[in-house]
Amino acid sequence: MTNIKLFIIAMIAASTAQAQDSTFEQRAAALEKKMTLEEKVSQMMNQSQAIDRLGIPAYNWWNEGLHGVARSGIKATVFPQAIGNAATFDEEALQKMADMVSTEARAIHAEYKKQGKRGIYQGLTFWSPNINIFRDPRWGRGQETYGEDPYLTGRMGMALVRGFQGDDPRYLKITACAKHFAVHSGPESTRHTFDAEISPYDLWDTYLPAFRTLVVDAHVASVMCAYNALGGQPCCGNDLLMTDILYNKWKFHGYVTSDCGAIDDFYRQGGHQTNPDAQSASADAVIHGTDVECGSSYRSLIDAVKNNLIPESKIDSAVTHLLEIRFRLGMFDRNVPYDTITMSQVLTPEHKAMALRMARESIVLLKNENNLLPLDPNKIHKIAVLGPNADDSIAVLGNYNGFPDHTVTVLEGIKSRVKVYYEKGTDYVGNDTPQVSQNIKDADVIIYVGGISPRLEGEEMPVKIEGFSGGDRTSIALPKIQTRYLQELYKTGKPVILVLMTGSALSTEWESAHLPAIINAWYGGEAIGTALADVLFGDYNPAGRLPVTFYKSVDQLPPFDNYSMEGRTYRYFKGEPLYAFGYGLSYTTFAYSNLSIPTTQQTGQTLPVTVTVTNTGDRDGDEVVELYVRHPGGKTIQALEGFKRIHLKSKESKTITLQLDPRRLSQVDEQGNRTEQPGKVEIFIGGGQPGKDSQSAEVTLNGDVFRLDP
């Protein structure tokens, strides 16, 4: 670096230090005013260019950290995939996990900065979480979400945002991003052309609440607009989503990025083709508030300004948003509190312990006939461990993942406890059912670790085999070869335990009817082998809950590309599921009593719901308390409006109170207006959806109609 460049950077640093009393927005605006049009546009693509004369280093806005720092090239802690984190129903734990991810992110950024590197996956602006509603289990990217419920998605998403962005009153630790805004959940094959046509009711009742939670309540620093169109306009240039809702109604103050290549879709052949060329498309997106493009179409903005397609003031506004974020991250300041974080805080024992905790908490026990589980290692001489996921250290990492220094596979976890015979048995898919060997027949217990893999489901993948297409699934059934093999194993007469790894719901009708024990382990991250062994042998009592409905087959679902919520998710599905949203078993039992709520309540006030939970069994364990609201005559069957994960020792009781604010007691009308209406409301609380083990009560809401902000 030349002495002149060093002098310029020192002068800029001195001037920014003198401006510490100014707001970040003022500092950003002042810096933007010093730029030429060409320099401003150079800041509006994910790979923004250095402006040496102003002391602005190059910066790449694209980074990923959905469940651990991803793709950085430096090993980092890998926690369970997002769908597994949702299954914990533990927002406090998720926020702690996210704080650890942001610590590792800061350390890795500092390491690259020390090397003079400022490339992709090396920055502090993370494009996570994915808070789209997982409306259909065929969507391969559903694994990245927090499930099918808007309230659960919003709460878990907010926990991640708070863990990422930190609690410093001045500086952001890293930035989170609410994506993909909005009405986006497959199919992957048509996402660049798809025009979602939905009712105002579904938009405001299902697709937008989690985004509102992150923007309005969690103050997320960025939003990513989606590939698809809504009502004829691409999401990144959408009047309703961007102008009316995000900026005008929600008063969003942060930056908006396009999804990668989404601006190209405005004009390219095979895209939406709502605009004739890159200039028009780029101007359209920026006018609607898309500040940075993941791509290169924005290079045309220079000519777009010169050709009067967009006023330069819109460019100024976008650049100011982007610079403000960099100021809030402390990139131009000294003595930023997060600058003390080093590589010694990556892959720490504490972080590894948290990966194990999240993996344990994510595991859902679906079936346990005659209390086969937990296994007693003192009574078992030999276990046969089989299946394509038993010794796969990649599948457990999910997608949008990093790489740890060591992954404990299920085989490794079980081998640390008992004598094991292992063979793969089957692949994920195929035609030839292998023979059951004598070694398997001689085992006391058979554990088959199957399911699917992120090699088969994910983002826009070149996969086309039976049951899978382009990253999505055409069937939700466990692949046929696995069912056939399980049927052969069942014939041995030995207990067969099925362990599923998946990013979404799997239909296991035969298995659920015949096998004595089934566990869902998702893509559980680097510690899943230890966590699963802990569950199998009783060192940990499972309490995970399903964040999605497990349907019996695709025959129970509407067409994949139909975005109406009718007949979808537990809130609107009227059939009988295989396993319900919110379902999960334990090795102990819990009882609910003493439900207490006011019998009448004025609209516009918060309703306290108090209940006593008792562990009536002989084992300590966690319980997930789930609170559902039902409006007689309403469109939803019922809706989760509160939850809390608690730990109870054997025979211990705890009294907890959950608060239902007016939004939790409100309804959306056909025009999309949200109000709390006077009348009767039913409240249910228990360890799952309303049923025989739930406590229930009715409250009468009195007073005027209470209107809520959208």
Question: What helix, strand, coil percent values describe the chain, rounded to 5?
Answer: 30, 20, 45
Say if residues 384 and 440 touch (Cβ distance below 8 Å): yes
Per the annotation, the verdict on 457 as an active-site residue is yes
| Residue 459 confidence (pLDDT) | 97
Which of the four pLDDT bands, split at 50, 70 and 90, describes residue 300?
A: very high
Say if residues 599 and 700 touch (Cβ distance below 8 Å): yes
Give the residue-averaged pLDDT of 358-385. 96
CA proximity to 512, closest of 567, 551, 540 = 551
Its pTM stands at: 0.96
> Which of these is catalytic: 205, 259, 265, 293?
259
Per-residue pLDDT reduced to its tens digit, 520-553: 999 999 999 999 999 999 999 999 999 999 999 9
Homologous superfamily (CATH) for 361-572: Glycoside hydrolase family 3 C-terminal domain (3.40.50.1700)
What element of type H or E holds 627? strand 621-630
Which of the four pLDDT bands, split at 50, 70 and 90, describes residue 5?
A: very low
Extract the tokens encoding 266.
């405005």
According to CATH, the topology of domain 590-707 is: Immunoglobulin-like (2.60.40)
Question: What are the residues whose beta carbons fall under 8 Å from the beta carbon of 337, sequence distance 6 or more?
Answer: 168, 171
What is the rounded CA–CA span in Å between residue 50 and residue 569?
48
What is the rounded CA–CA span in Å between residue 168 and residue 171?
6
Per-residue pLDDT reduced to its tens digit, 668-692: 999 999 999 999 999 999 999 999 8
| Residue 57 confidence (pLDDT) | 97
CA proximity to 678, closest of 658, 656, 700 = 700
CA proximity to 13, closest of 61, 76, 56, 75 = 56
Work out the percent of the chain whose per-residue pLDDT is above 70. Answer: 97
CA angle at 142 for the pair 141 and 144, rounded to the nearest 5°: 75
Per-residue pLDDT reduced to its tens digit, 192-233: 999 999 999 999 999 999 999 999 999 999 999 999 999 999
How far from chain centre, in Å, is Cα 206? 16
What is the rounded CA–CA span in Å between residue 357 and residue 364?
14
What is the rounded CA–CA span in Å between residue 299 and residue 646?
53
Residue 19 has pLDDT above 70, yes or no: no
Give the residue-averaged pLDDT of 46-63. 97
Per-residue pLDDT reduced to its tens digit, 150-161: 999 999 999 999
The four Cα atoms 274, 280, 284, 287 give a dihedral, to 10 degrees, of -170
Per-residue pLDDT reduced to its tens digit, 463-513: 999 999 999 999 999 999 999 999 999 999 999 999 999 999 999 999 999
Residue 355 has pLDDT above 60, yes or no: yes
| Residue 356 confidence (pLDDT) | 98
Which of the four pLDDT bands, split at 50, 70 and 90, describes residue 9?
A: very low
Q: What are phi and psi of 307, to 5 degrees?
A: -95, 10
> Which of these is catalytic: 333, 391, 457, 676?
457
Per-residue pLDDT reduced to its tens digit, 309-336: 999 999 999 999 999 999 999 999 999 9
What is the rounded CA–CA span in Å between residue 684 and residue 139?
31
| Residue 482 confidence (pLDDT) | 97
Q: Would 3-344 and 590-707 be classified into the same CATH topology?
A: no
| Residue 432 confidence (pLDDT) | 85
Distances (CA, A) of 188 to 138, 184, 600: 10, 10, 48
What is the rounded CA–CA span in Å between residue 454 and residue 471?
9
CA proximity to 176, closest of 223, 211, 141 = 223
Per-residue pLDDT reduced to its tens digit, 239-268: 999 999 999 999 999 999 999 999 999 999
What is the domain partition of the chain in residue ranges? Answer: 3-344, 361-572, 590-707
Which of the four pLDDT bands, split at 50, 70 and 90, describes residue 10?
A: very low
Give the residue-averaged pLDDT of 443-463. 97
Which of the four pLDDT bands, split at 50, 70 and 90, describes residue 12?
A: very low
Homologous superfamily (CATH) for 3-344: Glycoside hydrolase, family 3, N-terminal domain (3.20.20.300)
Residue-averaged pLDDT of the chain: 96
